[in-house]
Every structure is written in structure tokens, then in C-alpha cells.
Structure 1
């Protein structure tokens, strides 16, 4: 492997981290540099110009960072299979729970309760009692709800990382003019319109909510670059 290839591997890892986190590439380069013991990316490149070369151990650290940010990055078959079946269940404050996803919504449940976190980042959690016969349901307690929500939020973060890694970069990180690219239709605009609620949002707002409407949480299928439905069909 050439010296340029070694540094390129670190840059590629940073690019993958940036996509998963939905941050600028320079921010991800700083993450890589600091993980390798440098205060910032410029310090790392200065060392490289003076003869330092990232050894295999450092490149392995960079690869591990990518996997930690986006363990679902392998989507050839079932992306969740890479985690193993033991990752989908656990115990919280003495109560067993399981986790699953459906259409990228995260569902966490146990005996008599469940928590659902919809795909849209701005969508609130839904708590539900599934067995009203229980005299002591853990979901009735605020501290249990908060702890369950923290676990479910971690899973939703993985879902978001996988989605962001699959989408065009500008769908999650708008350009300097605030223009975002629709992940399905690939239109580009700085203003977006929702067919469901008939309200508009900026490119920055819809990108932050993974192209769900920031106002009514409608799906990306309802988001359009122009309000074509408002046209006067009588003309």
C-alpha cells in the first residue's frame, strides 16, 4: 500500500463517519485525527508531510470508528443480521425487553408495555400499555420511561446512520445555500412543500428531519420542491 493510499483510507473512513453522523466532512476528519492522538486533522497531515505514515493499527482504529457509527452499513441482505440475535434483547431495571424495527420505526417492548420511536428524528416517542391487568407496570414510572427511551434512541440513531449512508450526501447535509436534494426524486431546492399539511420548510429543516415534514411529520413521499397541487386547475 502506498503512502497516499494509507492517508486516503483515513479520509474514506472520515467520509463514511460524516455520512453516518450527518455532519461536514471536516468534522469527521477531526474525529479521526483525535482518535489517532492528534489534536486536529492539520496536525495529522503535518506529521504525514514530515514522514509519518498511518500504520495498520491506526487504520484499524479508523475502520472501527466507522463500524461503531454505522454497524448496519452492510445492507446486502439483512442489515440487522450483522449485530447478532443477542443484541435485540436485554434487561432494564429488572425487566426483560426486546427490540425490533418495522419500516425503520424502532419498537422496544416488554411484558405489558412498549415504546415506539418513529423514523422521523423530530417524531416524539409513543409509550403504550399493552396489558392493563398488571398491577405494577414499569412503564408507569418516569425513570423507567427515560431509561427505555435512551435505549430506543440508541437504536434509532443506528437506523438514521444507515439511512444517511444510503442517501445522497446533500439529502442530509444541505449545501452552503441551504439547498437539499430529495432522496427519492433527487430534486434540489432550498424550500420544500408538504402535500399533507400544505406548509413549507427550508432545505435545512427537511434535511435535519430526514425529509419528513418538520411541521406534520409526513413521509418523504409527501415532500415536493414546488406546491404543484396549489395550481388553479380551472385555468
Structure 2
């Protein structure tokens, strides 16, 4: 493998990390460099010009960073195979729980309670009592709710990483002019309109909420580059 191929693999890993974390590529390059013992990417590049070469272990480290950020890999990946069944259940403050995803919403539940975190990053958590016969339901406690929310939020982060990795780059990180690309229709605009509530949002706002309406949380199917449904009133 040539020197350029080795650096290309590190840059590819950084690009995949940037997709998953929804950050600029330059920030992901710094993540890779620091994992390899350099303070920043420029230091790594200078070392490379002076004869240092990434080892197979260095490349494996960079690839492991990608897997850590996006263990679900893609929409076609079976998470049970990627993560192992033990990752989907556990114990929290003495209470057993399980976790699953349904349409990219994260559902966490145990005896008598359930927590749902919708796909949209701005959507609030939904706590629900599923068995009112219990005299002491853990979901009634603030500490338990917060702890459960921490667990579920970790899972939602993985779901968001998988979504961002499957979408065009500009759908989650707008360009310098604030223009974002619709992940389904692929139109590009700095202002987006919601068919559901008629609200408008900037490209930065809509990308940050994974193309769900920041106002009413409508899905990307309701987000358009112009309010065509308003007809003459939109002009």
C-alpha cells in the first residue's frame, strides 16, 4: 500500500466520522489525528512528510472510531448482529429494561413503564405507565426517569449517526451559505417550509432537526423548498 493510499484511508475514516457525528470534515480529521497520538491533523501531516507512515494498527484504530460512532452501519444492518443481544437489555437502579427501535424511534421499557424518544432531535421524550396495578412504579421517580433518558439518548445518538451516514452530507451539515439538501427530494435551499404547519425554517435549523419541522416535528415528507400549496398567497 502506498503512502497516499494510507493517508486516503485515514481521510476516508475521518469523512465517515464526520457523517456520523454531523460535524465538519476538518473536525473529524482532528479526531483521527488525536487517536493516533498527534495534537491535530497538521501535526500528523507534517510527520508524514518527514517519513512517518500510518501502520496497519493505526488504520485499524481509525476504522474502530468509525464503528464506535456508527455501529448500526446502515439502514440494512441487523443491529442484533452488529451489537449483540446483550446490548438491548440491562438493569437500571435495580429494574430490568429492554430497548428497541421502531421506525427510528427509540423505545425503552420495563415492568409497568415505557419511554419513547422520537427520531426528531427536538422531539421531547414520552414517558408512559403501562401497568397501573404496580404500587411502586420506577417511572414515577425523577432520578429513574433521568437515568432512563440517558440510556435511551445514547441509543438515539446511534440512530441519528446511522441516518446521517446514509444521507447526503449537506442534509445534515449545510454549506457556508446555510443551504441544506433535502435527503429525499435532493432539492437545495437555505429556507424550508412545512406542509403540515406552514412554518418556515432556515437550512441550519432544519438540518439540525434531521429535516423534521422544528415547529411541529412533521417528517421530512412534509418539508419543501417552497410553500407551493399556498398558491398565490406564497408570492
TM-score relative to the length of structure 1:
0.97
Residue number in structure 2 paired with 1:7: 7
Residue 85 of structure 1: how far off its partner (Å): 1.4
Offset of residue 143 of structure 1: 0.5
Tell me the residue number matched to 1:136.
136
Quote the offset at 1:228 in angstroms. Answer: 0.2
Residue in structure 1 matched with residue 111 of structure 2 by the alignment: 111
The answer for the alignment partner of 1:83 in structure 2 is 83
Report the CA distance shift for 1:118/1:75 in structure 2 as closer, same or farther (over 3 A). closer
CA contact (8 A) 2:106 2:117 kept: yes
The answer to whether the Cα contact below 8 Å between 1:117 and 1:152 also exists between their aligned partners in 2 is yes
Q: Which residue of the partner structure matches residue 24 of structure 1?
A: 24
**C-alpha deviation, 1:79, in angstroms:** 4.2
Across the two proteins, how many residue pairs are aligned to each other? 233
Summarize the alignment of residues 138-157 of structure 1 with structure 2, pairs less than 5 Å apart.
138-157=138-157
Q: What is the CA deviation profile of residues 34-81 of structure 1, one whole-angstrom value per residue up to 9, with x for unaligned ones? A: 111100000000000000001111111101100000001154452443
Alignment-derived partner of residue 162 in structure 2:
162
The answer to whether the 8 A contact 2:171-2:180 is kept is yes
Matched residues in 1 for 2:166 and 2:229: separation? 29
* SS, match of residue 23 in structure 2: coil
**Aligned counterpart, 2:100:** 100
Mapped to 2, the partners of 1:73 and 1:132 lie a distance apart of 39
Q: SS of the residue aligned with 1:231?
A: helix
- Mapped contact 2:75–2:163 kept (Cα < 8 A): no
Cα distance change on mapping 1:4 and 1:36 into 2, 3 Å: same
Change (3 A) 1:199 1:107: same
Determine the C-alpha separation between the residues in 2 that align with 1:45 and 1:230. 53
CA distance in 2, matches of 1:77, 1:180: 27
Aligned to 2:227: 227
Q: Which runs of 5+ in 2 are unaligned?
A: none
Distance 1:188 1:232 in 2: 22
RMSD of aligned residue pairs (Cα, Å) = 1.1
Asked whether the equivalents of residues 107 and 117 of structure 2 are also in contact (C-alpha less than 8 Å), the reply is yes
In the superposition, the TM-score normalised over structure 2's length comes to 0.97
Q: Which residue of 2 aligns with 1:71?
A: 71
Q: How does 1:134-213 map to 2 (within 5 A)?
A: 134-213=134-213
Contact kept in structure 1, 2:75 and 2:166, CA below 8 Å = no
